[in-house]
Structure 1
Amino acid sequence: MKKTIKEQKAVLIILLSNIFIAFLGIGLIIPVMPSFMDIMHLSGKTMGYLVAVFAVAQLLMSPLAGRWVDRYGRKKIIIIGLFLFGVSELIFGLGTNVSVLYISRILAGISAAFVMPGVTAYVADITSVQERPKAMGYLSAAISTGFIIGPGIGGFIAEYGIRMPFFFAAAIAFLACISSIFILKEPLTKEQLAEISANTKQINFIHDLKRSLNPLYFIAFIIVFVLAFGLSAYETVFSLFSAHKFGFTPKDIAAIITISSIFGVVVQVFMFGKMIDILGEKKLIQLCLITGAILAVASTVISSFLTVLAVTCFIFLAFDLLRPALTTFLSKAAGKEQGFVAGMNSTYTSLGNIVGPAMGGILFDVNIHYPYLFAAVIMVIGLGITVMWQEKQLVESLAE
Structure 2
Amino acid sequence: MKTSTSAPLCPVTPHVKTRIIVVISLSVFISLIGIGMVVPILSVYADTLGASSFWIGVVFAAFALSRTICMPFFGRMADRYEKKHMMAAGLFFYALISLGYIIAPTVFLLTIVRFVHGIASAMIAPVAMAYLGSIAGKGEEARVMSRFQAAMLFGFGAGPLMGGVIYDLFGFSASFYALMAFSALACLIVVLFLPEEQTLPLSDAAVSGGGDAGNPDSETKDKWNWQTLRGLLFHPVYGGTMLISFASEFGMIGILVFIPLFVPLFGISPAGAGLIISLNVFVAGILQMIFGRIGDRHNRCALIIPGALIFAVSLAIFPLCTTLVAFLLVSFLNAVGALFFFPAVSATMVEAGRVYGMGSTMGIYNSIRGGSGIIAPLVGGLVADAFGLEAVFVLIGLFVAAITGVFFLLAVMPAYRHRRSDTKRVP
Same fold (TM over 0.5): yes
CA contact (8 A) 2:33 2:182 kept: no
- Which residue of structure 2 lines up, in the alignment, with residue 254 of structure 1? 274
- Which residue of structure 1 lines up, in the alignment, with residue 48 of structure 2? 39
CA distance in 2, matches of 1:13, 1:28: 22
CA distance in 2, matches of 1:206, 1:146: 37
The structure 1 residue matched to 2:197, chosen from 160, 178, 187, is: 187
CA distance in 1, matches of 2:231, 2:347: 22
361 and 195 in structure 1: CA distance in 2 versus 1, 3 angstrom threshold? closer
CA contact (8 A) 1:86 1:173 kept: yes
- Which residue of structure 1 lines up, in the alignment, with residue 412 of structure 2? 390
> Which is worse superposed, 296-305 or 60-69?
296-305
- Which residue of structure 2 lines up, in the alignment, with residue 120 of structure 1? 129
The letter of the residue matching 2:137 is: S
The structure 2 residue matched to 1:52, chosen from 37, 61, 65, is: 61
Tell me, yes or no, if structure 1 residue 323 matches structure 2 residue 342.
yes
- Which residue of structure 1 lines up, in the alignment, with residue 203 of structure 2? none
- Which residue of structure 1 lines up, in the alignment, with residue 186 of structure 2? 176
- Percent sequence identity is 22
CA contact (8 A) 1:216 1:333 kept: no
The letter of the residue matching 1:164 is: A
CA contact (8 A) 2:28 2:186 kept: no
CA distance in 2, matches of 1:188, 1:216: 32
CA distance in 2, matches of 1:322, 1:253: 24
Alpha-carbon shift at residue 294 of structure 1 (Å): 1.7
The structure 2 residue matched to 1:371, chosen from 378, 392, 416, is: 392
CA contact (8 A) 2:86 2:124 kept: yes
The letter of the residue matching 1:256 is: I
- Which residue of structure 1 lines up, in the alignment, with residue 101 of structure 2? 92
CA contact (8 A) 1:296 1:373 kept: yes
CA contact (8 A) 1:79 1:177 kept: yes
Tell me, yes or no, if structure 1 residue 71 matches structure 2 residue 91.
no
CA distance in 2, matches of 1:246, 1:257: 16
Alpha-carbon shift at residue 203 of structure 1 (Å): 4.3
Alpha-carbon shift at residue 125 of structure 1 (Å): 2.1
> Cα RMSD over matched residues?
2.9
2 and 192 in structure 1: CA distance in 2 versus 1, 3 angstrom threshold? closer
378 and 183 in structure 1: CA distance in 2 versus 1, 3 angstrom threshold? same
Secondary structure, counterpart of 2:124 in structure 1: helix
Tell me, yes or no, if structure 1 residue 234 matches structure 2 residue 243.
no
Equivalent pairs counted in the alignment come to 393
The gaps in structure 2 that reach 5 residues or longer are: 1-9, 201-210, 419-427
Q: How is 1:125-274 mapped onto 2 (pairs within 5 angstroms)?
A: 125-158=134-167, 159-188=169-198, 199-201=220-222, 203=224, 208=229, 211-243=232-264, 245-274=265-294
- Which residue of structure 2 lines up, in the alignment, with residue 351 of structure 1? 371
311 and 55 in structure 1: CA distance in 2 versus 1, 3 angstrom threshold? same
CA distance in 1, matches of 2:113, 2:250: 22
The letter of the residue matching 2:239 is: F
CA contact (8 A) 1:221 1:345 kept: yes
